[in-house]
Homo-oligomer: A and B are copies of this chain.
Amino acid sequence: MPKRVDPNNPASKESAPKQNTKTQLIDAGIQIMQEKGYNATGIMEVLQSVGVPKGSFYYYFDSKEDFGLQIINHFDECYTEKLRRYFDDQSLTPLARLRLYCDEGRKSLLEAQCRKGCLIGNLSQEMADQSEVFRSRLEEVMVKWRNYFASCIKEGQEKGEICTKIDTQDLAEFFLSGWEGSVMRAKTTKSPGPQDAFIRVMFEHFLCKKSP
């Protein structure tokens, strides 16, 4: 297949600007898709938001589906860095790492006025029945998150900080789905109340060894 050249952007032959435009489109796509979902996101809206001409889209992406999948990949890369910062931090106890994860997530949602929520959760809800390609990729990302939680919970259980009566994998899935549910609820109530309830119940009464 011959190399495609963007007819609307001569700079596309050069590697750095090409990457730059592509990254701009992906970043804009994340912002719009996180709020509107996949189906309601128009390619034109994305292109206009970064001032890239219409004809350029198919130079960078094979299709809207390809764009969506590259958005998931990019988000996954960035989010994995964040997860590493929280969960590889040996200066914090395992419970403190889980708590930091929730506190930072709550802070981000508040900064966004309880809009947008979680891109991966949103797309899972919207696309899991619509596209097997999306579903399997979204599941990979969620399983990666769950594995971070499971490792942290296991360490907490081994160190006597987290209750050992509950199966580690069950607790990790429960933590993941409960947190995702609380993000969705916070979007709907337009308040962090559901996340606060999740954090209080999990950390004051549940994960904490002494309770309930």
Residues of A at under 8 Å CB distance from B?
35-37, 39-40, 115-117, 121-122, 124-126, 128-130, 135, 138-139, 142, 163, 165-167, 169-171, 173-174, 176-182, 184-185, 187-190, 193-194, 197-198, 200-202, 205-206, 211-212
Known: A165-B212, A181-B181. A187 touches B36 (CB 8 A): no
Given the complex of chains A and B, what is the CA–CA distance between A133 and B184 in angstroms?
17
CB distance A197 to B182 under 8 Å?
A: no
CB distance A212 to B40 under 8 Å?
A: no
CB distance B125 to A171 under 8 Å?
A: no
CB within 8 A of A201: which of B116, B170, B198, B212? Answer: B170
Given the complex of chains A and B, what is the CA–CA distance between A194 and B173 in angstroms?
6
CB distance A201 to B171 under 8 Å?
A: yes
CB within 8 A of A178: which of B128, B169, B178, B189? Answer: B178
Known: A126-B125, A205-B165. A170 touches B184 (CB 8 A): no
